Amino acid sequence: MNWGWKTIIEPFKIKSVEPLGFTTRQERERILREAHYNIFNVKAEHVLIDFLTDSGTSAMSAAQWGAMMNGDESYAGARSYYNFENAIKDLTGYREVIPVHQGRAAERILFEIIGGRGKYSVSNSHFDTTRANVEASGTVAEDIPVKEALDFEKTLPFKGDMDIKALEKFIKRKGAKNICICIMTVTNNSLGGQPVSMKNLKAVSGICRKNNIPLFLDCARFAENAYFIKLREKGYAGMPVKNIAREMFELADGAMMSAKKDAFANMGGFIAMNNSEWAQKARQNLILTEGFRTYGGLAGRDLDAIAVGLKEVLDEKYLQYRLRSTEYLGRGLKKVGVPIVNPPGGHGIYVNAQKFLSHINPLHFPAQSLVCELYLLGGIRAVEIGMLMFGRRDGRGNILPGEVELVRLAVPRRVYTQSHVDYVIEVFARIAKNRKNIKGLKIVEAPKVLTHFTAKLAPL
């Protein structure tokens, strides 16, 4: 990449725009009160900058919209399906491709086939819907990230890696035949959007193959991970990202993808693999709840949008801009005194709320308090990754502080410009100055399942 300038520019121009949701402070106070201090209850039109998720929120390209108009909506054998299948085969090299409506459907189907009581799934970190689907099948989900992943201060190139020694110990302890799958989440969303190195992937692959444990990638953000490898790992600087991605897929036996991330699609996903017996079972399961094997719960136009998106995401000018713009947000926050998970991740910045709001008792939801303050002051929507989301409970049902208390600012792809990010940094600077005035929250109502989506809170 010979761009040669310090300023990394957005590698696109904008043809179609949407207005932002401007509100007054007074309105936001009312909106937040009516939302019971739960940001999931706020209407999107009342949000100015929406960093809730990078999932399904991408701006599609003109080429994607064009492909959508060509979508073939035939029930069986639609042209759109073959475009989709070819794009995935070309990317991954896997023989079997199964469309699903989003990532969690892939998880459900896979674990209904391979999971069950007495079995284990081991991962660098299961994403929360993955864990939920693993557990729903009766399987135990075990996370073994490298220890450094939980040291938020330390800057290391590949904090998404799996702890190899711990993997070997785990296999010895549980018995290889009881481990139905190993999942490498690339990048590791639950622990800061940190990448996995090829070296680590090779080591995990070697161990899995020796022990006959199938290895799958949760590849929602595979292109971001591949570009991190290009930037940070010896021997990959000169390799096209497409080849790096292919090497990653070749080390595994299959992949699940939520196409709502790196495929720039608003909806969709897939399972891809070489095991035709599993694929057969997956297709039988698919038809029960998702749809016929050539659409899997998606419209033909969605399949076409994904097919185009999977090619576009390999554009290295885009990936350079993508990772640099997330890093720009991270650096800006650090400059104004906001502690983040280091180094900046691929798809977002994770603020260490416990450290930032150390005056708030850990029982009083520091991360959710910061989420509310961001909305009140700046109309910014972020998401709590802390006790509300992971909500361990004591014997009386009270929610306890967990291992992490973070606020994630997930950056939608190709949606916001640098001035939007500068504004977010300015809001954080003001919050940093007055942070001692931020008060904690208490629970008013907290359903036991999916607490963070539905809980009602109130200021102390």
**Which CB, 333 or 383, lies closer to ligand F0G?**
383
**Which positions lie near ligand F0G, rule CB under 6 A?**
53, 55, 102-104, 127, 129-130, 185, 189, 218, 220, 258, 260, 269, 410
Set 84, 120, 127, 318: catalytic member: 127
Q: What is the CA radius of gyration of the chain?
A: 22
Tokens of 259: 């196409």
**Which CB, 94 or 127, lies closer to ligand F0G?**
127
| 36 assigned to active site | no
Set 78, 105, 149, 220: catalytic member: 220
The residue nearest ligand F0G at its CB is 103
DSSP string of 168-183, one letter each residue: HHHHHHH-GGGEEEEE
DSSP designation for 234: T
| 220 assigned to active site | yes
Kindly give the pairing relationship between strand 49-50 and strand 380-381: parallel
Q: What minimum distance in Å lies between the beta carbon of 269 and ligand F0G?
A: 5
129 burial level (CB within 10 Å; 0-12, 13-18, 19+): middle
Q: What minimum distance in Å lies between the beta carbon of 264 and ligand F0G?
A: 13
**Which CB, 31 or 389, lies closer to ligand F0G?**
389
**Which CB, 113 or 186, lies closer to ligand F0G?**
186
| 127 assigned to active site | yes
Set 120, 353, 452, 455: catalytic member: 452
DSSP string of 388-443, one letter each residue: HHH-EE-TTS-EE--S--EEEEE--TTT--HHHHHHHHHHHHHHHHTGGG---EEE
Q: What minimum distance in Å lies between the beta carbon of 328 and ligand F0G?
A: 20
| 452 assigned to active site | yes
Q: What is the dihedral of CA 66, 222, 338, 23, to 10 degrees?
A: 20
Set 89, 128, 166, 446: catalytic member: 128
Q: What minimum distance in Å lies between the beta carbon of 119 and ligand F0G?
A: 20
Set 46, 119, 260, 261: catalytic member: 261
Q: What minimum distance in Å lies between the beta carbon of 217 and ligand F0G?
A: 10
Q: What minimum distance in Å lies between the beta carbon of 265 and ligand F0G?
A: 10
Q: What is the dihedral of CA 108, 109, 114, 120, to 10 degrees?
A: -20
383-412: b (≥16 Cβ within 10 Å) or e: bbbbbbbbbeeeeeeebebeebbbbbbbbb
- Other beta carbons within 10 angstroms of residue 16's beta carbon come to 8
Catalytic residues: 75, 127-128, 218, 220, 261, 452
